[in-house]
Amino acid sequence: MKPVIATFDELGVSGKDLIPMLLSRPTLSPRTSLNDGKLDYVRKTSISKDSKMYKYVVALIAISRIETIHEKLANFEKFGFLEDEVFGLFGRSPLILSLSIDKVQRNMNFILGTMKLPASVVLGHPFLLFCNLEAVLKPRVLLVGKIQDMGLIPQIKGPAMLRAL
């Protein structure tokens, strides 16, 4: 336990910040491994050590396997994202690393195919990847379609539609 605490302390995650992380992710201690490759991933997120998200980025990258991070990165790249964009997204919304590849694929396919939005919309609105597709996203998009059918189109175009979702 002490080496893990020392490792996080060296990275700028204080004991005060580490306690909630350990409580939310009890496997953090036994699964933590930070090698040069993972530290490079943390740097690529371009997140400041002063940011509130920094501890989440470090913790999630520390408990993830390198292969898993590569697979998740490749999954985003399939939708046309650049590596820098994906790491920037991880920095702004680190819990995306906890989403399964399948969930990201399903939601992205829905966003691109049904909603007819560009993939880049996810960079500004990562909540679209977290939403349950069947219970939340699809019904809301169908509701927006019905509202548009009623002739209320100007009120829910563009960014207003995303706020409504």
**Mean pLDDT score, 121-137:** 93
Q: Classify residue 134 as exposed, middle or buried by CB count within 10 Å of its CB (0-12, 13-18, 19+).
A: exposed
Residue-wise pLDDT for 67-103, tens only, equals 999 999 999 999 999 999 999 999 999 999 999 999 9
Give the separation between CA 127 and CA 42, rounded to whole angstroms. 22
**Average of per-residue pLDDT values in the chain:** 86
Q: What pLDDT shows up at residue 106?
A: 96
Give the separation between CA 89 and CA 91, rounded to whole angstroms. 5
- What ranges make up the beta strands (E) of 83-161? none
Which residues fall within 8 angstroms of residue 42, CB to CB, at 6 or more apart? 11, 57, 58, 61
